[in-house]
Amino acid sequence: MAVRWRMLSPGVQKLLMSNSASHYIDSVEGLREACSGWQQLAFVALDTEFMRSDTYFAELGLIQLNVDSKLLLVDPLVPGMAEELAPIMTSPDVVKLLHSGSEDLQILHQYLGSKVGPIFDTQIAAAFCGFGFSTSYRSLVEQICEVQLAKGQTRSDWLQRPLAAAQLNYAAEDVAYLPALFDELNTRLRGSDKLGWVEAECAGLAEEAISAVDPEQAYKRISRAWQLPAKNLFALQRLAQWREYTAIERNRPRNWVLKDRQLWSLAEKLPAQAAELSAVGELSAAQKRRYGETLLELIESVLNADTSAYPQAIAEPPGKSYAEIGKQLRALVLACADELQVAPEMLARKKDLEYLMQTHASSGSAQLPPSLNGWRQQLLGERLRERVNRYFEQQVIGNGN
């Protein structure tokens, strides 16, 4: 049932009706005054606006807060704001409401130097309440609050000053309705196992936000890495590690250094001298001038390395022999999701099913990925694992072996 206008508190109604509902905060003293008494609150709503078009690290442009029905637009570029915000963002007694908050949490961790939490992500909660997977804030507000939000401003320059009125209005709306969404979703979840599942997912999201990228593992994200032999895979690992450190040092997107396909081509061909490097057609003249010597030195170190340094082989994606069991696993996930009225992606993802099949292919026995442990293990994980193992046991029996 939708949360209709009359169900909103008079204070929230007044804020949503007023063109001057939001307050732009550009001083530490103003933030301190606006947030006074936050320690007594059960929750604050939170969002951010940022830029990430030409940098490795996101550049924070605005922090939006809904604190006791006050819509606050906080300028994070003002010195001292991070220190003033940190107690609110990290207090274990005040829940932070967000929608699709993974990037917000990462950026705030970078800005504050501390983990934000505890959190309640309304997108996660919506997926457990029958609204579908990855439902947008705009769609959820329309379905629950029966309000249509205006589009626009997503491509705005959030680092410009002053920010335009249209930007500020758009930013304020992103936290104005979060308390109403939280109230409705929490009501639907209360008294069922789903509330515990949502809390576990939100806690996991908060932990992921503070997990630094490990440059040594960056090669695993590159398509077709599994196709490379051991030495070439080691080269890909070292190349991807170098690219990550270079991108971080220059604060530029990693693909501005070298693209994935360029790294893969270098790892496949292993050029040992400048003439061979020139034969790698994917590299531009500018890239060869800037990085050529470094790349050749790195590849030389790979060619001279002991095999004990090679990384573990990456499992090949499941082949045709796993097509039928793959369909059975997907059907099992869909049936369980339908019974529980949750988005199937919240129970198991494609990569989880592939992991089960890959571990069976490599060891003869399917193993659960870490993501299917916890509450998912008893609910569905063990059933999926047993289905894979039983399927191939029956294949062996059917073949008379």
Question: What domains lie within the chain, and their CATH numbers?
Answer: 5-209 (3.30.420.10), 215-309 (1.10.150.80), 320-398 (1.10.150.80)
**Quick one: which of 358, 375, 356, 393 has its CA closest to 128?**
375
How far, in Å, CA of 342 to CA of 70, rounded?
33
Q: Find the catalytic residue in 59, 84, 173, 174.
A: 174
397: tokens are 């029996």
The overall longest dimension of the chain from CA atoms, in Å, is 79
Strand bridging mode 70-74 / 22-25: parallel
Active site residue 219: no
Q: Looking at this protein, which amino acid is placed at residue 55?
A: T
Contact of 206 with 109, CB cutoff 8 Å: no
C-beta of residue 271 within 8 angstroms of C-beta of residue 279: yes
- The Cα–Cα gap between 282 and 280 comes to 6
Q: Is 121 assigned a catalytic role?
A: no
pTM: 0.90
DSSP designation for 380: I
User: Is residue 250 within 8 Å of 257, Cβ to Cβ?
Assistant: yes
Assess contact for 104 and 48: CB atoms under 8 A: yes
- With beta carbons less than 8 A apart as the criterion, state whether 58 and 50 touch: yes
What's residue 389's pLDDT? 96
CA distance 170 to 168: 5
Looking at the chain, the number of H-run helices and the number of E-run strands are: 18, 6
- Helix axes of 230-250 and 260-269: crossing angle, nearest 10 degrees: 140
| Active-site residue, from 111, 137, 170, 177 | 170
96 contact partners, CB below 8 Å, separation of at least 6: 43, 44, 45, 46, 89, 116, 117, 118, 119, 120
Active-site hit among 49, 84, 173, 260 = 49
The question of whether 306 is a catalytic residue gets the answer no
Residues of the chain predicted below pLDDT 70: 1-21, 153-154, 281, 396-401
Which residues on neighbouring strands pair with residue 356, listed in sequence order? Answer: none
Q: One of 59, 75, 104, 173 is an active-site residue; which one?
A: 104
207 is annotated as an active-site residue: no
d(CA 255, CA 160): 26
Average pLDDT score over the chain: 91
Q: Amino acid letter at 158?
A: W
Q: DSSP labels for 100-113?
A: S-HHHHHHHHHHHS
- The answer to whether 49 is a known catalytic residue is yes
Please, is 51 exposed, middle or buried when counting C-beta atoms within 10 Å of its C-beta (0-12, 13-18, 19+)? Answer: middle
Q: 57: alpha, beta or left, given left = phi > 0 and alpha = psi -120 to 50?
A: beta
The tokens for 383 are 């059933």
Cα gap 179→7, rounded to integer Å: 12
Please report the pLDDT score of residue 132 as a whole number: 97
Pick the catalytic residue from 47, 59, 75, 173: 47
Please give the pLDDT value at position 247.
97
356 with 367: CB under 8 angstroms? yes
**DSSP class of 288:** H
